[in-house]
Chain A
Amino acid sequence: MPKRKDLETVMILGSGPIVIGQACEFDYSATQGCKALKEEGLRLVLLNSNPATVMTDPGLSDRTYIEPMTAEVARDIIRLEKPQAILPTLGGQTALNLAMELYEKGALSEFGVEMIGADPDVIEIAESRDRFRKTMTSLGLDIPVSAMAHTVEEAVDVAARTGYPAIIRPSYTLGGTGGGIARSRAEMELMAWKGLNASPVGQVLVEESLVGWKEMELEMIRDLGDNAVIVCGIENVDPMGVHTGDSVTVAPIQTLTDVEYQAMRDEALRVARAVGLNGGCNIQFAVDPRTGRRVVIEMNPRVSRSSALASKATGFPIARVAAKLSVGYLLSELKNGITRKSACFEPALDYCVVKAPRFNFEKFAGASSVLGLEMRAVGETMALGGNYREALQKALRGLEIGLLSLEWRPDEDEEGLHGDRVARLELMKKRLARPEPERLSRLYEALKLGLTRAEAVEITSLDPWFVIQMELILEAERFVAGPLAADIAAGRDPAPEALRKVKAQGFSDAQIARIVNTENGTLLTPPDISALRERLGVAPVFRQVDTCAGEFLAETPYYYSSYDAPPPASPIPGSEAEASAGAAASRATGASAPLKASPGAPGPEPRPAGRRPKVMILGGGPNRIGQGIEFDYCCVKACQAFDSMGFATVMVNSNPETVSTDYDAVGRLYFEPVTLEDVLAVCAEEKPDGVIVQLGGQTPLNLAMSLKEAGVPIWGTAPEAIFRAEDRRSWNELVEKLSLLQPPGHMAADERSALAAAEEVGYPVLVRPSFVLGGRAMRIIGNSRDLTLYVRSFAESGLALGPASPILVDKFLDDAVEVDVDAVADGERVVVAAVMEHIERAGVHSGDSSCCIPPFTLPDAIRDEITRQTGLLGLELGVKGLMNIQFAVREGKVYVLEANPRASRTAPFVAKATGRPLIEAAAEVMVGRTLAECGFLDQDPPGYYAVKEAVIPWGRFSGAEVLLGPEMHSTGEVMGLDRTFGHAFLKAQIAAGTDVPLGGDIILTVCDRDKPALAPLAAELAAMGFTFHATPGTVKSLADRGISAGTLYNLSDQRSPSLHEYLKSGKAKMFVNTAQDPQSIRDSSFLRAEAISCGVPIMTTIAGLAAMVEGLKAVKSSRWRISPLQDYRPAAAGGAAAS
């Protein structure tokens, strides 16, 4: 069955903002899908509200709508673009839900649009727990004992049958939101209530607990000719009970027999067939390790985070193939792009792949870090190794959480135990019983302290195989601490083969240095170990990810490093092998390390030859709050630019979710941790002409100086300039030299100097540790008591304060307007790409603040001044490439807050909002062109408005403080684009998931500072028909301005109606709550959390409310306009709006 002839226009749904459980893996899959369908000559219409994505690049689809992903908007687009089909399986749960809503509302039948990839029936069977269970039962598949409940009482009744613990799974939610494990009736009542609320249909499944069972996932793909393949089996190292997104996982499956595996495979095929799958899907199974009993947990009839992982783990492009199948192809008609063989095959792996999740619990103070059914990881890293241990340790160091490899860093709980082995072991056992993010490290330490294998299995339910692997790593560590350390202490060279075997267990040079130093009391640095290693000729080999374990010649360059390759023996004298090795050696150029498979050795890895100059781009590693998809976008765009300029590109990154780790998106891909040692190894292999560190966020920037010192050519802004902007002292000198203003401030290495600094500059002060990203531990502090508490808490949380790592105490510019600027500089000229005015006042982290292009309140003179200062800074720093500067504007004065000579989080937003190719221009500058040469010159701001809004996962971290502040919390962003600021702002709000009310009652409770500003806004809202309830103070301030509001009492008033009751009643359509001092912030925290869990939109700043009022006025006076990016900029580079 070849491609369908009846399709001309296909609409593709993206996944919206990055949220926990739905991250940039869907940018990867939809980007691949767009490319695959573009090849088929289809006209593509894309809808995605997320501007940071590669898929929303106007070049990838014909009509690119960055608009709210609501049924109303999607229907408008269908009406305008008249697609014959809509493809909802590449955009995660968001896309599936939106497509189902369109279907149910009749929008698809109205315009004759067919759902391809998965039809409504397929989605319903998979998504409705009830239908899914019935289908599984009819297929004879085992499922956990369970039943649906629609009330708390029903849930309790079901649990009486399943027994405790029991699992609660809400229907139709993302990443397990609202789910949990109830261990008692009391817990069940609470969790059932939470789950029923989380489910859009008020339905939960109460299910037999399978906690501790093996958890397996099969990633499969099936066509309508009933051909199906399992692309990859993934085993969760963390057994059932921890969401798979939060689990460490391994591929291929390690602990099932072929009999078990094939039976599971048969069941997966049966499920796919029964459901009528056409495309990719993921099926999860649980296997009882004691009996082999296997039950089906769930299936997702779409590409997923796991399928992205499976694609990267095996080289099989699931999304691409799924997209092709959706337009009529059969699997047998498609080719595997890597081997040029059939795409209808199952990859074979001759390596191990480990994925490890990245968490950000530290940003959500107060939230429990125990892992469960609800996903909390914000990112992940993947590593490939010759064996599981090597892959695991590579993955752990790739997480960039300070782990050098598998190791344990004592935490505060251990204080007072003074290294008492028995007491520490007891503590470890206790903590291991509940899964936490550091579980594997903790288990490793416990094994070191004498925990037996049986105990480890009993406590953690890990399969013994995984525990044994840790014991083997421990054995290697003991070798390092023993004989190897002794050799080094005695000045002897260790045996090279012994060192290679240690490295083959995944140890980093830094880890070896640390172990040896602990043993010998020395101060060896990681480069010392690297030097020793190189002198002994111990180097990694780079192997190809070829989908077929070496069976076929693979043409696509995708590599990983491994030390798990014993050196080849020399060929027998006089043999055929010796003759051919001699011939090969004489052809080979360049030196090879003795232990490395030399070109003459058996089985050289195929590697395309290239004469083009080579540029290597360092990616950002795992996503985390503050460093996510935006940087990947920059890396990918730059790769494309370098490629079109005739450069060979090499990408180094460890994030399986990204477009940058698609072998198709870059010249050569090295799937490696972005650490100094690993990057240097790739440099030694590839010998790039230039390395780019400014695109991948803080991760590669942190390596810049060390790379340069190691002799690696850094292209673009010099590492020294990066340091100059980051280091407080040199930054101050720079600001002074250029006669710029900045808020006064000082560095403080202890509590006393912090207090003195605050006294001098005056409260409120903005405090933060030096060298941080995403505003980690940044606070605004109003008095000395709070500052003292802050400094002390700092020490308690394990962040050592001292002269080498001081905190910064700066005057906080209250009520200032914050401005971000993205610019490109070539060393002689600085061109501002966009000036962004923040909507929230200074003090809210720029990543969490919404902002607007062009500025919506700033006078031209201020804009000009900002542009001038940007120019001064760019030239003085010698920026070559991208830079981002943050300013604050107060009372007509411009203060510079910080300058970052690197790609910024806002770069993709600027690119989408203005259509200006700033990243491409930066790439050209980095290879030595001038901005004039690439035609990137000053340009007037667009004649329309683009508003970026942040999306924050408050709902995932119950107990955490819900308030915007200087610490960044957002995981994703959306963009609203329209002809007025109001329309654009409102679109952004709706796109971010805010249930914007057009009328109804609003709760107002604002701090004294904000009361004057509230009144006029309330008056405008009243004029639009809104009514108000407020706390007594706010009621009074409104009454003074003639605005009436019902009174709600604070909890402390002990009077009814209380604010809390009213909020819970669901009568309020919006909750406006601003708080000033820490005490009132703490007091009102539970109210904001309540609003979040009730789904009431919440505004925590007056500036935000003002923008909301503007937006409401706009949509009440005229309809917003839905248009694709292509219509905003008909002539590619033009800056004028369509309107």
Chain B
Amino acid sequence: MTSNFSGPSPAGGGVALTPAALTLDDGTSFTGTALGGCLEAAGEVIFITAMSGYQEVLTDPSYHGQIVVFTAAHVGNYGTSPTVDQAPEPQSAGVIFHELWLPEAVHWLSDADLPAWLRAGKVGALTGVDTRALTLHIRTKGARNGVIAPLSAGAAEAYARARRVPSMNGLDLACRVFTRKPYKVPAAPAGEGEGPVYRVAVLDFGIKRSILGQLSLQNMDLTVWPGDASPEKILEERPQGLFLANGPGDPAACSYAVRTARHFLGRIPVFGICLGHQIMGLAAGGRTYKLPFGHHGLNHPVLDADSGKVFITSQNHGFCVDPDSLPAGVRANMWNLNDGTVEGLAWDGEPAFCVQFHPEASPGPHDSRALFARFRRLIKEQNA
């Protein structure tokens, strides 16, 4: 045996490459190459089928604590730019690529290449992995916990650690990412909403920057509250609407937020996205359950049963509202055309609705952005 051909270098010259592996809690492992001495990572392993928008994904707090597998053949092609960050720093615990590389940033907007960005953000990254095999494994066996560790750490040790990763069921991850202190986001000066500026409270569970952007574009002055802020505290600012943000983890573990949501439902207009949607479902008295491997991608068709229209949506969730658990007066009005799961809820006679998918996109299609305007209309009607 002689010299080896390592294939395309993931980071150009000068970066240490470490043989490493993703080891799952069922004992399966996938080998690859880690960058810069291998930052270890542990979490639930999920795959995303997006073909663009990797930086938005990796900075989305909803991926907190997860190891994200990109199914796309090439990731990192256009480098990185702070303009698309969804949070100030990378959020996912780790990331797995089939082929990540780019010796230099070649896009006109790019500041740094993705490998450098990952190193700076201290994200454990593994490349050169058979991501299709890994994806089919997750699809057939369900989302699993796993760890990224150098091969030198030993397979048995990695396996043991993978088995120690806490289950996503019952795990409150939102509390790790929501803001500690309330802060304000003013209405965007060149916004789309005409008429008065409305005061909206945002309950943060790990909100994406693009959601705040979309809300402020609707001529709303936002106060972003920690997810566990009390209704009384929030009421001090006399909000005209409440928004429940996206976020990571099991919604059922966020009982504090469910109580807050219940307090406001029926009083002021409420809109929720993703985890916010699940929390509203729980607040209405419904149940949530964990999907086998969740929905993570930019291509999920959602039927709006009220209009008959289909949106192609950006999705990222592992839990889901059980439609059979909903009380009278709360209606599942949006459905995923792939697996028939609930994608949206509407309250009869109440100014409240929520969606499981991400109308703010970033990344993904903008088909459903009009939902932000719907929220504004609800507030307007209540304040007419």
Residues of A within 8 A of B (CB): 225-227, 229, 252-259, 261-262, 265-266, 269, 289-292, 330-332, 341-342, 344-352, 386-388, 463-465, 468, 472, 475-476, 479, 483-484, 486-487, 492-495, 497-499, 501-502, 504-505, 543, 548-553, 564-569, 571-578, 597, 601-605
CB-nearest residue of chain A relative to B300?
A345
Q: Does B225 contact A (CB under 8 A)?
A: no
Instruction: State whether A551 and B51 are in contact (beta carbons under 8 Å apart), knowing that A350-B73, A575-B27 are contacts in the complex.
Output: no
A551 and B135 form a contact (CB under 8 A): yes
Once the chains are docked, how many angstroms separate the CA of A265 from the CA of B2? 49
8 contacts between A and B (CB under 8 A): A257-B52, A269-B367, A332-B337, A347-B299, A486-B2, A549-B135, A571-B27, A603-B135
Instruction: State whether A501 and B5 are in contact (beta carbons under 8 Å apart), knowing that A256-B52, A291-B108, A551-B135 are contacts in the complex.
Output: yes
Once the chains are docked, how many angstroms separate the CA of A578 from the CA of B26? 8
CB-nearest residue of chain B relative to A571?
B27
Once the chains are docked, how many angstroms separate the CA of A604 from the CA of B141? 12
Given A292-B108, A495-B4, A569-B29, output 13 extra A-B contacts at Cβ < 8 Å.
A229-B301, A254-B74, A258-B50, A258-B364, A332-B301, A342-B301, A345-B301, A345-B337, A346-B312, A505-B7, A549-B71, A564-B99, A571-B29
Once the chains are docked, how many angstroms separate the CA of A262 from the CA of B50? 12
Residues of A within 8 A of B128 (CB): 566
**Which listed segment binds A: B186-194, B302-310, B319-327?**
B302-310
B49 and A350 form a contact (CB under 8 A): yes
Instruction: State whether A226 and B74 are in contact (beta carbons under 8 Å apart), knowing that A498-B3, A550-B135 are contacts in the complex.
Output: no
A603 and B137 form a contact (CB under 8 A): yes
Residues of B within 8 A of A568 (CB): 30, 130, 133
Instruction: State whether A576 and B27 are in contact (beta carbons under 8 Å apart), knowing that A350-B135, A352-B73, A550-B47 are contacts in the complex.
Output: yes
Q: Does B24 contact A (CB under 8 A)?
A: yes
Instruction: State whether A331 and B74 are in contact (beta carbons under 8 Å apart), knowing that A387-B99, A483-B5, A551-B135 are contacts in the complex.
Output: no
Residues of A within 8 A of B136 (CB): 550, 602-605
Task: Name the distance in Å between B313's Cβ and chain A's nearest Cβ.
Answer: 10
Task: Name the distance in Å between A1052's Cβ and chain B's nearest Cβ.
Answer: 59
Instruction: State whether A498 and B4 are in contact (beta carbons under 8 Å apart), knowing that A252-B72, A332-B301, A465-B106 are contacts in the complex.
Output: yes
From A289, A492, A577, contact of B28 by CB (8 A): A577
B27 and A550 form a contact (CB under 8 A): no
Of all A-B residue pairs in the complex, the 9 with the closest CB atoms, nearest first, are A575-B27, A603-B136, A258-B53, A342-B337, A572-B27, A348-B49, A577-B27, A258-B363, A602-B137
Q: Does B112 contact A (CB under 8 A)?
A: no
A257 and B81 form a contact (CB under 8 A): yes
A492 and B21 form a contact (CB under 8 A): no
Task: Name the distance in Å between B348's Cβ and chain A's nearest Cβ.
Answer: 24
B71 and A262 form a contact (CB under 8 A): no
Task: Name the distance in Å between A212's Cβ and chain B's nearest Cβ.
Answer: 14
Q: Digit string of B81-113 for contact with A (CB within 8 Å is 1, else 0)?
A: 101100000000000001100111011110000
Q: Digit string of B131-156 for contact with A (CB within 8 Å is 1, else 0)?
A: 11111110110000000000000011
Instruction: State whether A501 and B7 are in contact (beta carbons under 8 Å apart), knowing that A346-B299, A468-B103 are contacts in the complex.
Output: yes
A483 and B2 form a contact (CB under 8 A): yes
Instruction: State whether A257 and B103 are in contact (beta carbons under 8 Å apart), knowing that A342-B301, A350-B98, A498-B5 are contacts in the complex.
Output: no
From B51, B56, B102, B366, contact of A349 by CB (8 A): B51
B98 and A386 form a contact (CB under 8 A): yes
Residues of B within 8 A of A553 (CB): 139
Task: Name the distance in Å between A340's Cβ and chain B's nearest Cβ.
Answer: 10
Q: Digit string of B1-24 for contact with A (CB within 8 Å is 1, else 0)?
A: 111111110000000000001011
Task: Name the distance in Å between B297's Cβ and chain A's nearest Cβ.
Answer: 6
From B2, B107, B366, contact of A494 by CB (8 A): B2
Q: Does B341 contact A (CB under 8 A)?
A: no
B338 and A345 form a contact (CB under 8 A): yes
Residues of B within 8 A of A (CB): 1-8, 21, 23-24, 26-32, 47, 49-53, 56, 71-74, 77-78, 81, 83-84, 98-99, 102-104, 106-109, 128-137, 139-140, 155-156, 159, 297-301, 303, 308-310, 312, 337-339, 361-367
Once the chains are docked, how many angstroms separate the CA of A292 from the CA of B109? 9
Once the chains are docked, how many angstroms separate the CA of A341 from the CA of B98? 26
Residues of A within 8 A of B31 (CB): 566-567, 569
Task: Name the distance in Å between B46's Cβ and chain A's nearest Cβ.
Answer: 11
CB-nearest residue of chain B relative to A350?
B71
Instruction: State whether A388 and B74 are in contact (beta carbons under 8 Å apart), knowing that A258-B53, A332-B301, A603-B134 are contacts in the complex.
Output: yes
Which secondary structure dominates where chain B touches chain A? loop
Once the chains are docked, how many angstroms separate the CA of A576 from the CA of B134? 16
Once the chains are docked, how many angstroms separate the CA of A604 from the CA of B361? 33
Once the chains are docked, how many angstroms separate the CA of A953 from the CA of B367? 44
CB-nearest residue of chain B relative to A575?
B27
B84 and A257 form a contact (CB under 8 A): yes
From A350, A463, A575, contact of B26 by CB (8 A): A575
B7 and A504 form a contact (CB under 8 A): yes
Instruction: State whether A387 and B73 are in contact (beta carbons under 8 Å apart), knowing that A262-B364, A342-B338, A505-B7 are contacts in the complex.
Output: yes
Once the chains are docked, how many angstroms separate the CA of A599 from the CA of B366? 41
From A349, A564, A566, contact of B72 by CB (8 A): A349
A388 and B78 form a contact (CB under 8 A): no
CB-nearest residue of chain B relative to A581?
B28
Task: Name the distance in Å between B68's Cβ and chain A's nearest Cβ.
Answer: 14
Residues of A within 8 A of B362 (CB): 258
Residues of B within 8 A of A602 (CB): 28, 30, 133-134, 136-137
Once the chains are docked, how many angstroms separate the CA of A479 from the CA of B28? 32
From A225, A346, A352, contact of B298 by CB (8 A): A346
Residues of A within 8 A of B51 (CB): 252-253, 348-349
From A254, A291, A484, contact of B77 by CB (8 A): A254
B155 and A572 form a contact (CB under 8 A): yes
Once the chains are docked, how many angstroms separate the CA of A17 from the CA of B84? 50
B364 and A344 form a contact (CB under 8 A): no
CB-nearest residue of chain A relative to B70?
A350
Task: Name the distance in Å between A93's Cβ and chain B's nearest Cβ.
Answer: 29
Residues of A within 8 A of B30 (CB): 566, 568-569, 602
Residues of A within 8 A of B137 (CB): 602-603
Residues of A within 8 A of B3 (CB): 483, 495, 498
Once the chains are docked, how many angstroms separate the CA of A486 from the CA of B56? 46
Task: Name the distance in Å between B157's Cβ and chain A's nearest Cβ.
Answer: 10
Once the chains are docked, how many angstroms separate the CA of A351 from the CA of B74? 8
Task: Name the distance in Å between A315's Cβ and chain B's nearest Cβ.
Answer: 13
CB-nearest residue of chain B relative to A553?
B139
Residues of B within 8 A of A597 (CB): 130, 133
A550 and B338 form a contact (CB under 8 A): no
B107 and A255 form a contact (CB under 8 A): yes
Residues of A within 8 A of B365 (CB): 262, 265, 346
Instruction: State whether A566 and B32 are in contact (beta carbons under 8 Å apart), knowing that A262-B366, A572-B27 are contacts in the complex.
Output: yes
Residues of B within 8 A of A549 (CB): 49, 71-72, 132, 135, 297
Once the chains are docked, how many angstroms separate the CA of A259 from the CA of B85? 12
Task: Name the distance in Å between A348's Cβ and chain B's nearest Cβ.
Answer: 4
A487 and B2 form a contact (CB under 8 A): yes
B1 and A493 form a contact (CB under 8 A): yes
Task: Name the distance in Å between B321's Cβ and chain A's nearest Cβ.
Answer: 20
Task: Name the distance in Å between A790's Cβ and chain B's nearest Cβ.
Answer: 47
Once the chains are docked, how many angstroms separate the CA of A226 from the CA of B8? 44
Residues of A within 8 A of B133 (CB): 565, 568, 597, 601-603
Task: Name the distance in Å between A799's Cβ and chain B's nearest Cβ.
Answer: 36
B21 and A569 form a contact (CB under 8 A): yes
A344 and B134 form a contact (CB under 8 A): no
Once the chains are docked, how many angstroms separate the CA of A290 from the CA of B134? 37
Once the chains are docked, how many angstroms separate the CA of A847 from the CA of B233? 85
Instruction: State whether A349 and B73 are in contact (beta carbons under 8 Å apart), knowing that A258-B52, A495-B4, A550-B132 are contacts in the complex.
Output: yes
Once the chains are docked, how many angstroms separate the CA of A569 from the CA of B299? 31
Task: Name the distance in Å between B81's Cβ and chain A's nearest Cβ.
Answer: 7
Once the chains are docked, how many angstroms separate the CA of A253 from the CA of B47? 20
Instruction: State whether A463 and B106 are in contact (beta carbons under 8 Å apart), knowing that A348-B297, A495-B2 are contacts in the complex.
Output: yes
Scoring B4, B47, B102 by chain A CB atoms within 10 A of each residue's CB, the highest score goes to B4
Once the chains are docked, how many angstroms separate the CA of A573 from the CA of B337? 41
